[in-house]
Amino acid sequence: MLTVHAIDACYGRVRALHRVSLTVARGELATIVGPNGSGKSTLLRAITGLLPVRHGSVALDGEPISDLPPEIIVRRGLAMVPEGRELFPPLTVRENLLLGAYALRGAARRARGEDLDRVLALFPALGARLGQPAGTLSGGEQQMLAIGRALMSRPRLLLLDEPFLGLAPLIVAEIRHSLEKLRRTGLTLLMVEQKLDIALGFAQRAYVLIKGRVVLEDS
């Protein structure tokens, strides 16, 4: 479903990714593991069009997306849950969720209500807090909201940047369960994680990234 071929990405004159290649097959959960500063977030930014790709290509279902603006890439079915969640703290849970559907047009946009119901079925904790400012949620609830917001854009492929960071084991288990449920319903996932035990516990394929290079790939 996703094919990343030999991409480079740079910050100014500093190259953060060196000819990185990876593939994610439809219906699988793949993971990118690596220490702090190895380029994991940079790789997700390059895939989603937030950072220009300097060499190589990114393709979604065989169609190149590396030169498209991020909002078009979202419409093609790719969504990201960013590092640190990037919610809008003063806005309510409901408003944050609806912002996830911002790039949708036509019938997909009109179906927002049903999409919202699906997200609340997946994360019942959010249902009781729809009118509450996002900033008042617990860390685990904020992560659920960030995932829910991404789901509101109706992705086929969901990218997650360290979704378990700073969360208690019980919450990690709960969110992990939700991600597995999403995969069983047909969603494809690519998740960045620092902790090997969490990542390899439920991924079908893993890439190890060190200093901007893929040094190991295995299923």
Give the CA distances from residue 14 to residues 5, 11, 125, 212, in Å, rounded to whole numbers and listed in that order: 20, 5, 43, 11
Residue 37 near which of Mg ion, ligand ADP, none (CB within 5-8 Å, type-dependent): ligand ADP
Q: Are 32 and 190 in contact (CB under 8 A)?
A: yes
Task: Draw the binding track, 73-92, toward Mg ion (x: CB under 5 A; -: no contact).
Answer: ----------x---------
**Could you say whether residue 41 binds Mg ion (CB under 5 A)?**
yes
User: What span, in angstroms and rounded, lies between the C-alpha atoms of 17 and 23?
Assistant: 16
CA distance 112 to 115: 5
Length of the chain: 219
- In the shown chain, the binding pattern of residues 21 to 40 toward Mg ion, with x for contact by CB under 5 A and - for none, equals -------------------x
Place of tokens 């950072």: 51
Minimum distance from CB of 14 to ligand ADP (Å)?
Answer: 6
Q: Which is nearer to ligand ADP, 40 or 129 (CB)?
A: 40
Q: Which is nearer to Mg ion, 43 or 182 (CB)?
A: 43
Positions touching Mg ion (CB under 5 A) are: 40-41, 83
